[in-house]
Structure 1
Amino acid sequence: MSTITVTTWSLEQTSPADLRPAAVPGDDIRIIRAEVPSPEFSRFLYTAVGGDIRWTDRLGMTYAEWQEWVDRPGVETWVAYEKGTPAGYVQLEAQDEGAVEIVYFGLIPAFRGRRIGGHLLSQGVARAWDLAERWPGLPQTKRVWLHTCSKDGPHAMDNYLRRGFRLFDTKVDQEPEVETPGPWPGAAI
């Protein structure tokens, strides 16, 4: 099996004041929290956003594993909609000692390049900073962090840096080269 070189960057914010929000792209964009845990919807977003950029780590998860994930306290999914159609999402996970990870973030391919991503990321980061207000018992957020990698879209890193994230780690690994799965087998874009 052939391999590819993948660089993974880890970035963080350590204060709500670090966030530099993007402009709102227009009146037709709404960002709404998916408050009812739904494995089907979560998997749909994961495959629709990540299918063409080789997100494969969760494709083998069972329904029960997806259910367990979305039911966890401090896991939130915020979805961007344009005129009622899902355009992308940001998924947050509360972690130990007041850290919140942006576990997944991205746009469905048809919505990329339209200035929605900066706004969605801004809203996701703001919701990471106030996560404890919606989840009694969680500590106040002290750090928001994420990974991005060389497989992600060409504008991902610039978006994170423009929103006020700072690089704290870089790793380079060899990974097996996998076929781009698309949102479902055979539907690669």
Structure 2
Amino acid sequence: MSHNEQVTTYYLEMTAPDQLCGKPKPEGLDVTEAELKEFRFNRYLYQLVGEPWQWTDKLTLSDTEWQSYAERDELRTWVAYHRGAIAGYYELEHQTGGDVEIAYFGLAPKFVGMGFGGYLLTHALQSAWGWGDTRRVWVHTCTQDHPGALNNYRARGMNVYRTEQE
């Protein structure tokens, strides 16, 4: 990315579960919660999925910092598998006031463009609404992310409530 290129960050939200426009489950894609928390797994998923999009904010964290991030009760992780390979993942973070953030979401490089993103996001939103007293689900994405990300969030029923220019 050139230095003069502006980055736009989009914040999206869903305020009721009936706003979800779900996508059906593709054949051979299974999504499982990693119920036994292991920070090394979260770090691996972060690197696997984030590398093409320059996710760097957590690369410098120590093991201790990763552990306190990933092994909290407020964070849950789901992994999508296709034929035994990791196709993608998402993390949900339960925040105060009934907010759930889709903290990280994405597909592994080999699985981008196969039509898995719509279902994985549907799954993430359903999981978020099913977690306790959820009143709002939100996420942010930016113009450095996959070009289809914003459209996927919108297509599932999320609405942009704020944009920021960097």
Structure 1 residues 2 and 98 mapped into 2: Cα distance closer, same or farther (>3 Å)?
A: same
**Cα deviation per residue 1:71-127 (whole Å; 9 max; x = unaligned)?**
211211111000111110010000010000001000011100111111111001100
Partner of 2:11: 10
Q: Which amino acid letter does the alignment assign opposite residue 121 of structure 1?
A: L
Larger C-alpha radius of gyration, 1 or 2? 1
Aligned 8 A contact 1:74 1:131 in 2: no
Aligned-pair Cα RMSD in Å:
1.2
Instruction: Return the alpha-carbon distance in structure 1 between the equivalents of residues 77 and 4 of structure 2.
Output: 32
Instruction: Return the alpha-carbon distance in structure 2 between the equivalents of residues 128 and 42 of structure 1.
Output: 18
What pairs up with 1:1-189 in 2 under 5 angstroms?
A: 2=3, 4-26=5-27, 28-132=28-132, 140-173=133-166
Structure 1: gaps (5+ residues): 133-139, 174-189
Which is further off, 32-41 or 141-150? 32-41
Q: Which amino acid letter does the alignment assign opposite residue 26 of structure 2?
A: P
**Cα deviation per residue 1:39-87 (whole Å; 9 max; x = unaligned)?**
1110110011010111000001111111111121121111100011111
Which is further off, 159-168 or 69-78? 69-78
SS in 1 for 2:6: strand
SS in 1 for 2:26: coil
Q: Matched residues, percent identical? A: 42
SS in 2 for 1:80: strand
Aligned 8 A contact 2:39 2:71 in 1: no
Structure 2: gaps (5+ residues): none
Instruction: Return the alpha-carbon distance in structure 2 between the equivalents of residues 32 and 3 of structure 1.
Output: 41
SS in 2 for 1:5: coil
Q: Which amino acid letter does the alignment assign opposite residue 109 of structure 1?
A: P
Instruction: Return the alpha-carbon distance in structure 2 between the equivalents of residues 74 and 2 of structure 1.
Output: 36
Aligned 8 A contact 2:11 2:162 in 1: yes
Aligned 8 A contact 1:37 1:67 in 2: no
SS in 1 for 2:122: helix
SS in 2 for 1:114: coil
